[in-house]
C-alpha cells in the first residue's frame, strides 16, 4: 500500500480534483486514479517523506479561523483604501517573528495563510535562525502581531504537523 501510494494525501486530492474538473463517471475515476498514483510515485522520487497530519481537528479548526480572518482583514484593508489610510494616519512596518515551526509543509501553509490575509506579507524566512520577516500594512502593535502569529496560527500548525 505504501509502496504504491507514497503520498496518499496528494493522490487523494488529485483524484478529487480530476473528478471535479470532469463529469463523474467510472472511466474518469479509473483515469484519475491512474494519474494520481503516477504523480504520487513521481513526487516520491523528488520529495520522499510524505507530510503526516497528526491532528485533523486542529487542521479543521485552523481552516475555520483562517476563513474568518481573511474576511475580517479584507474588510479592514478595503476600508483603509477607501479612507486613504485613516486620512494619512496609517503606518506600515516590518516585524520579525521568531518561529518554532520547522516542518516545511507547515511553513508553506503559514505562508499561504499570511499571504491570503490582506494586510500581511511574508517577505523573508531565515532557515538558520527560524526568523520570519513580515510586512504589516497597518501596524499598531508589534508585539500584538508576534503574539497573533504565534498563538493563533503557529500553535495550531505545530499541533497539526509537529
Partner 1 sequence: MSGLEGLPPWLILPVAGFLVLGSTLTLLGAFGLLHLKSFYDRIHAPTLGTSWGTAAILLASALSWSWAEDRVFLHELVIGICVMATTPVTLMVLGRAALHRDRTEGRGDVPPAPPRTEPAPEGADKA
Which spans of this chain sit near partner 1 (rule: CB under 8 A)? 17, 20-21, 70-71, 74, 77-78, 81-82, 92, 94, 96, 108, 111-112, 114-124, 126, 128-129, 131, 133, 135, 137
Q: Contact, 92 vs 80, CB < 8 A? A: no
Q: Helix or strand or coil: residue 3?
A: coil
Q: Given phi > 0 = left and psi -120 to 50 = alpha, else beta, which region is 87?
A: left
Question: Helix (H, G, I), strand (E, B), or coil: what is residue 27?
Answer: helix
Residue with Cβ nearer partner 1 (45 or 128): 128
Q: Enter the C-alpha cell of residue 27.
A: 472511466
Shortest distance in whole angstroms from residue 88 CB to partner 1: 11
How far apart, in whole angstroms, are the C-alpha atoms of residue 159 and residue 120? Answer: 23
**Closer Cβ to partner 1, 4 or 17, answer by number:** 17
Give min distance, CB of 75 to partner 1, in A.
Answer: 9
Smallest distance from the beta carbon of 45 to partner 1, in angstroms? 21
Question: Of 43 and 70, which CB lies nearer to partner 1 in the complex structure?
Answer: 70
Smallest distance, Å, CB 58 to partner 1?
Answer: 19
Q: Smaller CB distance to partner 1: residue 14 or 158?
A: 14
Q: Are 145 and 98 in contact (CB under 8 A)?
A: no
4/131 with CB nearer partner 1: 131
| C-alpha to C-alpha distance for 159 and 5, rounded to whole angstroms | 25
Residue 3 CB burial class (10 angstroms; 0-12, 13-18, ≥19):
exposed
Smallest distance, partner 1 to C-beta of residue 78, A: 5
CA 90 remoteness from chain centre: 27
Amino acid at each position: 500500500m505504501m509502496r504504491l501510494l507514497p503520498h496518499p494525501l496528494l493522490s487523494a486530492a488529485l483524484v478529487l480534483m480530476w473528478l471535479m474538473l470532469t463529469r463523474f463517471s467510472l472511466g474518469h475515476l479509473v483515469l484519475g486514479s491512474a494519474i494520481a498514483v503516477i504523480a504520487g510515485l513521481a513526487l516520491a522520487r523528488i520529495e520522499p517523506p510524505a507530510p503526516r497530519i497528526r491532528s485533523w481537528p486542529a487542521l479543521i479548526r485552523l481552516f475555520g479561523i483562517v476563513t474568518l480572518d481573511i474576511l475580517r482583514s479584507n474588510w479592514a484593508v478595503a476600508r483603509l483604501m477607501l479612507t486613504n489610510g485613516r486620512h494619512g494616519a496609517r503606518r506600515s512596518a516590518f516585524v520579525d517573528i521568531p518561529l518554532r515551526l520547522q516542518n516545511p509543509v507547515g511553513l508553506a501553509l503559514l505562508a499561504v495563510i499570511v499571504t491570503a490575509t490582506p494586510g500581511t506579507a511574508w517577505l523573508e524566512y531565515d532557515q538558520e535562525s527560524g526568523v520570519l520577516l513580515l510586512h504589516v500594512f497597518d501596524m499598531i502593535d508589534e508585539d500584538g502581531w508576534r503574539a497573533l502569529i504565534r498563538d493563533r496560527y503557529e500553535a495550531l500548525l505545530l499541533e497539526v504537523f509537529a
